[in-house]
């Protein structure tokens, strides 16, 4: 906490009136400072972005869009929202941006409301193969009110594309079911997405093409992963993962009609007042992402993921699809120890100060609450300034945790080494160039 004087003074302010709440802020600050964050969807936003959310922009209702609000007093909110829109458009090279979605899932829900009627068919990758719950999981609105069909991964172990998207099968599924929309973009997929191939499939079967780039947005914004434009009709993303902004969602398109439909679907269709304090922080985060050092950061994220995957392979773990092209990987724990579950691994790692999430792997024999895999991502460690050398160190720490098999003393020893590593790479401080 001492690393960030503004958080420290915010803490003092809260402590003066609500010590109970202030204590929680201290604990969470310390947890983040002293643990290794390897959850692929998390990051450490800069102090500027974090503190932008604690400003007077939170006090305002600004229902509507810039220049067409339902409340008075929105002049500066119009400017803030336009600034965020303009920076988002510049960042992703497109004509329209809606910066109001509260999250990626909200953006996807609004997309369904905008483009599909209840019961209509769309194609996506299943959650268990690396997709997302808002891409047609039965318990999600997308799966309850609409009709998902799923395209698969390549299941043939002998194929060089084992566990990557089976584009031929995707074409067959789409030609058979003629979905109105094809979704691509995933939550646990370590390889480059061939947007041009999906465009060809969409054209052949007469579907709209949507990319959910929530995970890879930072890579896309800097050219480290190919862009969904000009191939995709519509794009949704979150703003807080590799993009390293505030927690939120974003919609992008080049198509005037799609933009109009989405804007109406989001407000008044789904959401009420926009979170203007978050939109203020989005504008600032997009400004950070437009700086040259953000590209070096994203390149290092990918280099670190490759180094971590190689080091994990060196310790005897199989990485699904054989490696990674982006910021994340799926570790198949069964290859290290047939009895090891993702649930146990996640729990033991957390005890040692290494924060991960259990994750199903393709064809996982275990249920989602157990799993046989771990998802590891490098965005947050890279933000702390770690490089390939530290990735080898992190793999060694993970392996020691697996060896310890829940032994408290051994886990406590790893915890101390994790603390020492974190101390060498403090969280971004005010004014620092984070992770460049």
Residues identified as active-site? 61, 63, 212, 238, 241, 247
In the complex, which residue's CB is closest to ligand DSN? 41
Residue placing its CB nearer to ligand DSN in the complex, 214 or 434: 214
Residue placing its CB nearer to ligand DSN in the complex, 222 or 242: 242
Q: Site mask, ligand DSN, residues 110-149, x = CB under 6 A?
A: ----------------------x-----------------
Q: Of 108, 140, 164, 187, which lies in the binding site for ligand DSN, with binding defined by CB under 6 A?
A: 187
Name residues contacting ligand DSN, limited to 191-250 (CB under 6 A). Answer: 214
Q: What tokens were used for 424?
A: 């060498």
Answer yes or no whether residue 43 interacts with ligand DSN by CB under 6 A. Answer: no
Smallest separation, CB 103 to ligand DSN (Å)? 8
Smallest separation, CB 132 to ligand DSN (Å)? 6
Residue placing its CB nearer to ligand DSN in the complex, 154 or 214: 214
For helices 408-424 and 342-351, give the axis angle rounded to 10 degrees.
60
Smallest separation, CB 82 to ligand DSN (Å)? 27
Q: Of 4, 7, 11, 41, which lies in the binding site for ligand DSN, with binding defined by CB under 6 A?
A: 41
Residue placing its CB nearer to ligand DSN in the complex, 41 or 98: 41
* E-strand stretches of 21-135: 36-37, 64-65, 68-69, 96-98, 121-125
The values of phi and psi at residue 196, to 5°, are: -65, -40
Q: Of 104, 148, 185, 190, which lies in the binding site for ligand DSN, with binding defined by CB under 6 A?
A: 104
DSSP secondary structure letters along 269-321:
II--S--HHHHHHHHHHHHHHTSHHHHHHHHHHHHHHHHHHHHHHHTTPEEGG
Q: Cα separation of 183 and 181, whole Å?
A: 6
Q: Cα separation of 196 and 204, whole Å?
A: 12
Smallest separation, CB 104 to ligand DSN (Å)? 6
Q: Which helix (H) or strand (E) holds 182?
A: strand 181-184
Count of residues that interact with ligand DSN, criterion CB under 6 A: 5
Contact 320, 235 (CB under 8 A): no
For helices 276-289 and 75-92, give the axis angle rounded to 10 degrees.
40
Q: Cα separation of 303 and 308, whole Å?
A: 9
Instruction: List contacts with ligand DSN (CB under 6 A).
Output: 41, 104, 132, 187, 214
């Amino acid at each position: 906490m001492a690393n960030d004087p503004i958080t420290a003074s915010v803490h003092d302010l809260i402590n003066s009136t609500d010590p109970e709440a202030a204590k929680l802020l201290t604990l969470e600050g310390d947890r983040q400072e002293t643990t290794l964050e390897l959850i692929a969807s998390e990051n450490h936003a800069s102090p500027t972005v974090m503190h932008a959310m604690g400003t007077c922009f939170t006090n305002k209702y600004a229902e509507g869009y810039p220049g067409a609000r339902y409340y008075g007093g929105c002049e500066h909110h119009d400017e803030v929202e336009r600034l965020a829109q303009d920076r988002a458009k510049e960042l992703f090279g497109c004509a329209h941006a809606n910066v109001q979605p509260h999250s990626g899932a909200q953006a996807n829900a609004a997309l369904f409301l905008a483009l599909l009627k209840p019961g209509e068919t769309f194609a996506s990758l299943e959650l268990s193969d690396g997709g997302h719950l808002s891409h047609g999981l039965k318990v999600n609105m997308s799966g309850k009110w609409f009709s998902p069909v799923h395209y698969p991964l390549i299941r043939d172990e002998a194929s060089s594309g084992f566990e990557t998207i089976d584009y031929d099968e995707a074409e067959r599924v789409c030609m058979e079911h003629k979905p109105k929309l094809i979704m691509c973009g995933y939550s646990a997929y370590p390889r480059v997405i061939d947007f041009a191939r999906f465009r060809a499939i969409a054209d052949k079967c007469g579907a709209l093409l949507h990319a959910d780039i929530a995970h890879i947005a930072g890579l896309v914004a800097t050219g480290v992963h190919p862009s969904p434009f000009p191939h995709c009709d519509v794009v949704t993303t979150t703003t807080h993962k590799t993009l390293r902004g505030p927690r939120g969602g974003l919609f992008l398109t080049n198509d005037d009609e799609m933009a109009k439909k989405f804007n109406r679907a989001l407000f008044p269709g789904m959401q009420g007042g926009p979170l203007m304090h978050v939109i203020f922080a989005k504008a600032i985060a997009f400004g950070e992402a437009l700086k040259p050092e953000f590209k070096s950061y994203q390149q290092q994220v990918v280099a670190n993921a490759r180094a971590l995957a190689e080091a994990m392979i060196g310790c005897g773990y199989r990485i699904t699809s054989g490696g990674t092209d982006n910021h994340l990987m799926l570790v198949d724990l069964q290859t290290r120890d047939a009895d090891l579950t993702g649930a146990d691994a996640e729990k033991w790692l957390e005890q040692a100060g290494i924060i991960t999430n259990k994750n199903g792997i393709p064809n996982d024999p275990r249920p989602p609450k157990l799993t046989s895999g771990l998802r590891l991502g490098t965005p947050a460690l890279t933000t702390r300034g770690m490089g390939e050398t530290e990735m080898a160190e992190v793999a060694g720490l993970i392996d020691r945790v697996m060896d310890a098999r829940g032994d408290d003393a051994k886990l406590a020893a790893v915890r101390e080494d994790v603390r020492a590593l974190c101390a060498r790479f403090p969280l971004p401080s005010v004014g620092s160039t984070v992770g460049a």
